[in-house]
Structure formats: C-alpha cells, structure tokens
Amino acid sequence: VCSSFATGPRQNDGMFYEFRTYSLKPSKMNEFLENFKKNVHLRTAHSELVGYWSVEFGGRINKVFHIWKYENFAHRTAVRKALAKDKEWQEQFLIPNLALIDKQESEITYLVPWCKLEKPPKEVHVLWWNESADSRAAGRHQSHEDPRVVAAVRESVNYLVSQQNMLLTPASFSPLK
C-alpha cells in the first residue's frame, strides 16, 4: 500500500489533502476525542475525512492529526464557509472544544507522483503503512541497503520540503486504521 504525501509546489492536480494537527491540553485529550467522535458526522457532511489519529510518540504528544480531502482550493473555501454557517457544528463541537486546543496547524499536501491513496489490507495504518513500529524500523534498515530505494529517494528529494516521523494511533471513527 502506498499513501505517501508531498508538500511544496506540486499543483499538477487540483485535488489535495489538508493535514490538520491540534495540540490539546493534556487533561482534555479524552474529552476532545469523545466530542469529535460524537459529532464527526456534522463535519463529514461537508468534506471527506481520510483519517484521524492521536499521536503516540514523535514530537509533542497530546495531539490529534487528521487528513481532509478537497477537490481544489475553491472546494476547501466553500467547505470552510459552510462550516462557519453550520450552527449545529458550531454549537455542538467547535465552541465547546476551542478552550481544549492549545495550537492548530494546517498544511496543504499532494500525493507524490508514484502513489495513490488506498485503504491497507489490515486495520493498521501509518502514512507509510507498517505492521508495527518494530517492523517499520526493520524495513527502514533493509530499505537503506536496496539500491532501488536509494535511487528513488535521490530522485524524490527535490519534492521534499520537510520530514517528520510520528507513531499515530487511529481514532475509533477514523476511516483509515
């Protein structure tokens, strides 16, 4: 399964994905997740949720990370306007949860040219799919010895603006697990 993303000047295709990361107050993490789970249908009425995870480790914890799919920037603008007018979304989710969020980050991303987004054959998913953190470490070690991987990395480095590694745990309502 290949579901790698790239950031930067990759606008050949109008479709893109928004990565949203919310840093939460540690004592409010469960409350936030429960409220989102209860109200996810209000948000997904406006655009497609690709996946929703909490950060297990890799940088600051007490974060949620979610991916939203948009057909183009006009679609994203229309969704944001619709959410701003959606009283049920505002009253049941947004207003009660604003005080639980310390920081929000948003990043626009595109699939790298050789990949497509698919659901993995098992209910385990990291943006680079792995059985476990140990299998990821073993796979990375092995891949560094494969000349095809080394060549692909050299070719794709032009698309790389930044890289961050996190172990993510899927929320029960996440389409990708």
Under the banding of pLDDT at 50, 70 and 90, the label for residue 127 is: low
Fold for the domain defined by 16-112+163-170: Alpha-Beta Plaits (3.30.70)
- Kindly report the pTM of this predicted structure: 0.71
DSSP string, the chain: ----EE-SS--SSS-EEEEEEEEE-GGGHHHHHHHHHHHHHHHHTTSEEEEEEEEEESSSSSEEEEEEEESSHHHHHHHHHHHHH-HHHIIIIIHHHHTTEEEEEEEEEEE-TT------SSS---SS--SSHHHHHHHHHHHTT-HHHHHHHHHHGGG-S-----EEEE-TT-S--
11 pLDDT more than 70: no
Under the banding of pLDDT at 50, 70 and 90, the label for residue 4 is: very low
Q: Where are the domains of the chain?
A: 16-112+163-170
- The per-residue pLDDT for range 46-104, each reduced to its tens digit, is 999 999 998 877 767 899 999 999 999 999 999 999 999 999 999 999 999 999 999 99
